[in-house]
Structure 1
């Protein structure tokens, strides 16, 4: 099935691309309160624990665009090594966290994000409807109503499945921005390896943050898993 090809093929898509990394500073969701916005972000291959350079830039830009909202961040817990099938670990971890937020903080707007291998983690959440290849916790259909926006960068699904999440995911496509930097070989048929490490410099973290801010401004919160949002 499609997600099998994503989780297997992510290895071939990413293995030739060296991810440049920098230390990440990550906040976690508050146990005693519900934020207005909960970002759930999966870092790229080889980045230190946290949300990575792209995630940090994206969150910084988003916070500057929604100064009236509290924004918490959850760093998806997974190895992010070159054992790319372990992306399923990240999908399982993210799924549990997202389901918990949707249940305990129903008015919180959830934002999903990921870079490179981390984008494949988000692909699993958005595309897999049944357990597949180590991903054992697909999101219930109603959780999509709590997700205000999705932002992925250098996403292998674009090349491996022939399209971005915007067209592949009925539940999440309309609320997704799926960015590929030029001829980045992870998400295109190009061969500009350096492009895979330049999502911050290219301005795409800023572009994604504006997209998400616009979604947050127009998407009403839901209060139950059965509720509907725009």
Structure 2
């Protein structure tokens, strides 16, 4: 009896590192989170085409959709609130499981807004009152690149802006705002025709960012992720 108890304990102690090692060995070298635009079914929405470009550049890349309402209308604010929480929880959970994986974020429209808030902080109307990012800094360290397309939080003059927009989106940040920690890892795509991230009147243009800027965005991701 004096021998069996420590042997059982030792067996359990050895099993835990083995399980952790097996879990890490199953992790991809690159993992992409995608967040869809408003009112489309759960999944990737228009972010999927960008994710597929990244997967083509890095074979074996895994992906995961942010699970949130993506609601429009009067439910938009609460949808953003839920989305911010989902980004923080899903990215944190993944990084805990796969700490050696390089993470890429791709958000489209409202999907960009929830990522923008999660990484860069608020305030954002009823959805977010604080200015600090809710994403833990030690989690954010694992994120190599963030691609925002048609972000309603767009404001002119940011160093990471790409496109022709000279006006802010309907949830624009204050003039002169910069993302305090992740600015050098962001590219945010918005054109003047877009009525959601700018003040244009061509809603169809809002759906064309991967078609127009996909290869440029992919080059940015490859620069940040590097060879894996």
Equivalent residue pairs, number = 184
Cα drift, residue 31 of structure 1: 9.4
Tell me whether 1:138 sits opposite 2:130 in the alignment: no
- Which of structures 1 and 2 has the bigger CA Rg? 2
Spell out structure 1 runs of 4+ moving beyond 6 A.
Answer: 129-132
Whether the 8 Å contact between 2:50 and 2:106 is mirrored in structure 1 is no
Tell me whether 1:181 sits opposite 2:191 in the alignment: yes
Distance (whole Å) between structure 2 residues aligned to residue 105 and residue 141 of structure 1: 16
TM-score normalised over the length of structure 2: 0.71
Distance (whole Å) between structure 1 residues aligned to residue 125 and residue 63 of structure 2: 27
Cα drift, residue 216 of structure 1: 0.7
Q: 2:202: which partner in 1?
A: 192
130, 152, 165: which one aligns with 1:156: 152
TM-score normalised over the length of structure 1: 0.71
In structure 2, list runs of 5 or more residues that go unmatched: 1-22, 155-167
Whether the 8 Å contact between 1:59 and 1:209 is mirrored in structure 2 is no
Alignment of 1:1-230 (within 5 A): 33-52=26-45, 54-67=46-59, 70-82=60-72, 83-85=75-77, 86-128=79-121, 133=126, 138-158=134-154, 159=168, 160-161=172-173, 168-202=178-212, 204-217=213-226
Whether the 8 Å contact between 1:40 and 1:113 is mirrored in structure 2 is yes
Structure 1 pair 208–163 and aligned structure 2 pair: CA distance change class (3 A): farther
Which structure is higher in RCO with an 8 Å CA cutoff and minimum separation 6? 1
Distance (whole Å) between structure 2 residues aligned to residue 182 and residue 162 of structure 1: 18
SS of residue in 2 equivalent to 1:148:
strand
RMSD: 2.8
Whether the 8 Å contact between 1:57 and 1:200 is mirrored in structure 2 is yes
